[in-house]
Amino acid sequence: MKKLSYLFLVAVIACTNSHAQFGRPGGADSAQRRKTQDSIRQLTEQDHQNMMDQLHITSIRQGANGNDPKAPNAANYDESKANPFPNLPDPLVLKNGKPVTTAKIWWDKRRPEIVEDFDREIYGRMPKHIPKVTWEVTSTTNEKNGDVDVITKKLIGHVDNSSYPGITVDIQLSVSTPANATGPVPVIMQFGFIFPGGARPPAPPPVAGAPTRPAGPTTPSWQQQVLAKGWGYAIIVPGSIQADNGAGLTQGIIGLVNKGQPRKPDDWGSLRAWAWGADRAIDYFETDKAVNAKEIAIEGHSRYGKAAIVALAYNPRMATAYVSSSGEGGAKLHRRNAGEIVENVAGSNEYHWMAGNFIKYAGPLNWGDMPVDSHELIAMCAPRPVFISGGEKGDGWVDARGMFMAAVAAGPVYKLLGKKEMAITQFPPVETLADGDVAFRQHSSGHTDVPNWPTFLTFAGRYFK
Ligand code: GCU
């Protein structure tokens, strides 16, 4: 590849989310875009193969097909076939078989065991030394959102790249707080679908059966609902931390720490990198007098719903999360055969979200061989409140029931820590809140976070002053 076009590709991978589409359809831009996407695809396949080689795996099982119900590998939606591995690891039994009977045993022994398993096998480890981030406020604007006067700060988190100047990582963040606030306010931070220059990508193309989100603005927007509570909102741009494709794994924060080399099987993937970025945003919030850094919620939808639950689980300063349609790789039990399955996430389109080791569970191992499952990811959030959400019509891919089951199975840990598990254990009717400090609600729409915002904000309001 010529040097110039390689540099262009590097820049595009670094700031491209696989959802992003830009340029005019049909024109020279679109030819260039196709070329870029082909190159990303190629580099991604190479990186995926490299990881397979490191794992000594020659092939993995095929993922579920969410587009064609007649396909031999069509996604399963028959509940009688959805639980081939019904036994979950017990979050309250130590590896040595002893029961976890006190909060102290949970914190000192059992939680670290669970964290180690997630680190090694599922999401990957964060490196011991990650370069420092220096936040720069690039603009402060007084503006109106609806009727409310807000102060919006745009920020760049410059990651120190003196160890490997070939890779630059500049984290993009914006935070808006009510102009008339009399003190620091809670902030809801979203993993946002926003791109450099402020352009919003169109709705994502249907990937492997995931329905597109319903188009059109909603009134009031989630930001306006947040302002109505007297709170602030923030948006962090995941693609500015780590690209949303396998080609990008030798760039972004993961590539910077690895000095441009491919990952090892237990290195972190994009979900943990995005969660790390959100944690750096909290570093900044701790210095901003307009923000109550002890009352930060993280929100994300779909792949960013996965990032949101990973962020809450791993970042103890995060107060709560709205986890929307996170599905496989998020709150859904990996042991479930419903909608998207492990094999899809282990494939070359999505493996970059996870540790390389995750691929093993799509062959030669199976889901039941995982030392942990997602109920224990939710348990890692305890005792902090978490709100888990999915849609009904057309959101089957994310397996709302599998997420509900995980939330139920996390309950005993909440209880041990003096908090409320969900009040019900039977899958609730649509639009019925399964309430507790771990809570679940399935809205009646599709693949979207819009309908559950009011319920989440009421939920968060119980905890934020
Ligand atoms: C795909 C993928 C899901 C993911 C979704 C999204 O459908 O299979 O795991 O959540 O994209 O992020 O939009």
**Is the pLDDT reported for residue 416 higher than 60?**
yes
Rounded mean pLDDT of 136-152? 97
Residues in the chain: 465
d(CA 185, CA 182): 9
- CA 445–ligand 1 middle distance (angstroms): 17
Give the pLDDT score at 460: 98
d(CA 263, CA 446): 35
In one letter, which amino acid is 250? T
d(CA 335, CA 31): 42
Which residue did the predictor score with more confidence, 418 or 194? 418
Residue bearing the CA closest to ligand 1, atom 13:
302
d(CA 138, CA 342): 41
d(CA 89, CA 99): 13
Q: Which of helix, strand or coil describes residue 214?
A: coil
- CA 160–ligand 1 middle distance (angstroms): 31
6, containing H or E segment: helix 3-15
Give the pLDDT score at 219: 79
**Is the pLDDT reported for residue 292 higher than 50?**
yes
Please answer whether residues 300 and 190 qualify as being in contact, where contact means their C-beta atoms are separated by less than 8 angstroms. Answer: yes
Query: Quick check: CB of 445 below 6 Å from ligand 1?
Result: no
Query: What is the reported pTM?
Result: 0.93
Query: Quick check: CB of 244 below 6 Å from ligand 1?
Result: no
Out of 30-34, 206-210, 317-321, least confident range: 206-210
In one letter, which amino acid is 357? N
pLDDT band, very low/low/confident/very high, at 28 (cuts 50, 70, 90): confident
Give the pLDDT score at 121: 99
Q: Which residues pair with 188 in a beta bridge?
A: 233, 297
Q: Which residue has the tokens 């990582």?
A: 169
Query: Quick check: CB of 303 below 6 Å from ligand 1?
Result: yes
d(CA 131, CA 369): 35
**Is the pLDDT reported for residue 430 higher than 70?**
yes
Locate 86 and state its tokens. Answer: 């019904």
Helical pair 28-54 and 3-15, crossing angle rounded to 10 deg: 80
Query: Quick check: CB of 267 below 6 Å from ligand 1?
Result: no
H, E, C per residue of 269-313: CHHHHHHHHHHHHHHHHCCCCCEEEEEEEEEEECHHHHHHHHHHH
CA proximity to 20, closest of 180, 243, 302, 232: 243
Query: Quick check: CB of 344 below 6 Å from ligand 1?
Result: yes
d(CA 243, CA 293): 27
Please answer whether residues 246 and 434 qualify as being in contact, where contact means their C-beta atoms are separated by less than 8 angstroms. Answer: no
**Is the pLDDT reported for residue 454 higher than 90?**
yes
Locate 73 and state its tokens. Answer: 């590998």
Query: Quick check: CB of 446 below 6 Å from ligand 1?
Result: no
190, containing H or E segment: strand 185-191
pLDDT band, very low/low/confident/very high, at 13 (cuts 50, 70, 90): low
d(CA 361, CA 38): 28
**Is the pLDDT reported for residue 352 higher than 50?**
yes
d(CA 79, CA 65): 17
Cα three-residue angle 311-374-321, rounded to 5 degrees: 35
Query: Quick check: CB of 208 below 6 Å from ligand 1?
Result: yes
439, containing H or E segment: strand 438-442
Helix-strand-coil split of the chain, %, nearest 5: 35, 15, 45
pLDDT band, very low/low/confident/very high, at 25 (cuts 50, 70, 90): low
Query: pLDDT (tens digit, 9 = 90+) per residue, 324-348?
Result: 999 999 999 999 999 999 999 999 9
Give the pLDDT score at 337: 98
Q: What is the largest CA-CA distance in the chain?
A: 65
Mutate to test the pocket of ligand 1, among 302, 310, 328, 332 (most ligand atoms within 8 A of CB): 302
**Is the pLDDT reported for residue 204 higher than 70?**
no
Give the pLDDT score at 27: 74
Give the pLDDT score at 149: 98
**Ligand 1 atom showing the smallest separation from residue 447 Cα:** 13
Rounded mean pLDDT of 224-250? 98
Rounded mean pLDDT of 400-416? 98
- Domain 122-461, what fold? Rossmann fold (3.40.50)
Give the pLDDT score at 194: 62
Please answer whether residues 299 and 325 qualify as being in contact, where contact means their C-beta atoms are separated by less than 8 angstroms. Answer: no
**Ligand 1 atom showing the smallest separation from residue 329 Cα:** 9
CA proximity to 225, closest of 464, 452, 462: 452
**Ligand 1 atom showing the smallest separation from residue 209 Cα:** 7
d(CA 280, CA 13): 22
Query: pLDDT (tens digit, 9 = 90+) per residue, 45-88?
Result: 999 999 999 999 999 999 999 999 999 999 999 999 999 999 99
Q: Where are the domains of the chain?
A: 122-461
Looking at every residue in the chain, the average pLDDT score rounds to 92
Give the pLDDT score at 26: 60
Please answer whether residues 211 and 316 qualify as being in contact, where contact means their C-beta atoms are separated by less than 8 angstroms. Answer: no
- CA 455–ligand 1 middle distance (angstroms): 23
d(CA 430, CA 445): 10
pLDDT band, very low/low/confident/very high, at 271 (cuts 50, 70, 90): very high
d(CA 192, CA 61): 32
d(CA 424, CA 442): 14
Q: Which residues pair with 438 in a beta bridge?
A: 386
DSSP assigned state of 1: -
